[in-house]
Amino acid sequence: MNKIVILLGENRTPGQSDSHKVAVLIKDRLHKKDADIQIDLVSLSGFRIDMCTGCESCRRTGECTIQDDLADLKKIVLDADHIMIVSPIYADHIPGVLKNFIDRISYWMPIMNLLGRTTSSIVVASSAGQIYASGYLERTFQRFGTIHVRSFEISVDTPPMLLEKHAAEMDMLTDDFVDKVSLSLTHDFPLEDLDEQFLSFNRYKEIYALPEAQDFFGNTWKTSPALQHNSFLDAFQCQRMKKMDVISKG
């Protein structure tokens, strides 16, 4: 069974925000599209995620020394086939709790630790910042090794897209978003617009596949079967097939 995790990137109590309403709406639409997909809605408000201290233990060992709930959250993300980020906008950017999470897993970037997975993002705002934050999330998760299939910006005031008078437009945009996410879980998913991933893969390989690179990044590049390939696309497909084999056997 394919698994989607919807990460709600805010600290508010679930059920009290427009972002949560949108997350529930998308989850329901995805279930109607394919009842066999496992979809977990996970709010970061339920996890203690401390700020990164910059100690670089993760670079040396692949482990974070901070004792909080990050390990549980990482397991949820790594177990998913598709990761969807739903975030409000605070001061023209994503909330601090979501930025803490991204900062704490940033050591996944040089090893492209989310290879084989697809991602999407939804930003919900009553003011400016949607385009900036949406672009940030897309670029960030591309560098983690994912293929980002769709970004969706929702305004709650100009225009108020969650109001009934905009229901037809919202339905059309939501259906398109759900179709893209659903397609990304199939063998027919088109692999295109991968410039950011190709550049990142080649840059990281040039640095960390060298014999003298003996830290966690270097060791991972020398031992990971997917990273032995010479292009991002081959590495992505290798990891994707591995995950699909697990799904078919499960």
Kindly give the parts of the chain with pLDDT less than 70. Answer: 127, 158-167, 245-250
pLDDT of residue 169: 74
Phi-psi region of 215 (alpha: psi -120 to 50; beta: other; left: phi over 0): beta
Cα three-residue angle 129-178-200, rounded to 5 degrees: 60
pLDDT of residue 245: 67
What distance in Å separates the CA atoms of residue 45 and residue 98, rounded to the nearest whole number?
10
Residues in Cβ contact with 173 at an 8 Å cutoff, skipping those fewer than 6 apart: 152, 161
pLDDT of residue 158: 62
pLDDT of residue 15: 77
pLDDT of residue 163: 58
pLDDT of residue 247: 55
Q: What is 3-191's CATH number, 3.60.150.10, 3.40.50.2300, 3.30.450.20, 3.40.50.360?
A: 3.40.50.360
- Burial class of residue 162 in the structure, from the number of CB atoms within 10 Å of its CB (0-12 exposed, 13-18 middle, 19+ buried): middle
pLDDT of residue 80: 97
pLDDT of residue 249: 54
Strands (E), 82-228: 82-88, 118-125, 147-155
Q: Which residue has the tokens 């270097």?
A: 218
Q: What does pTM read for this prediction?
A: 0.93
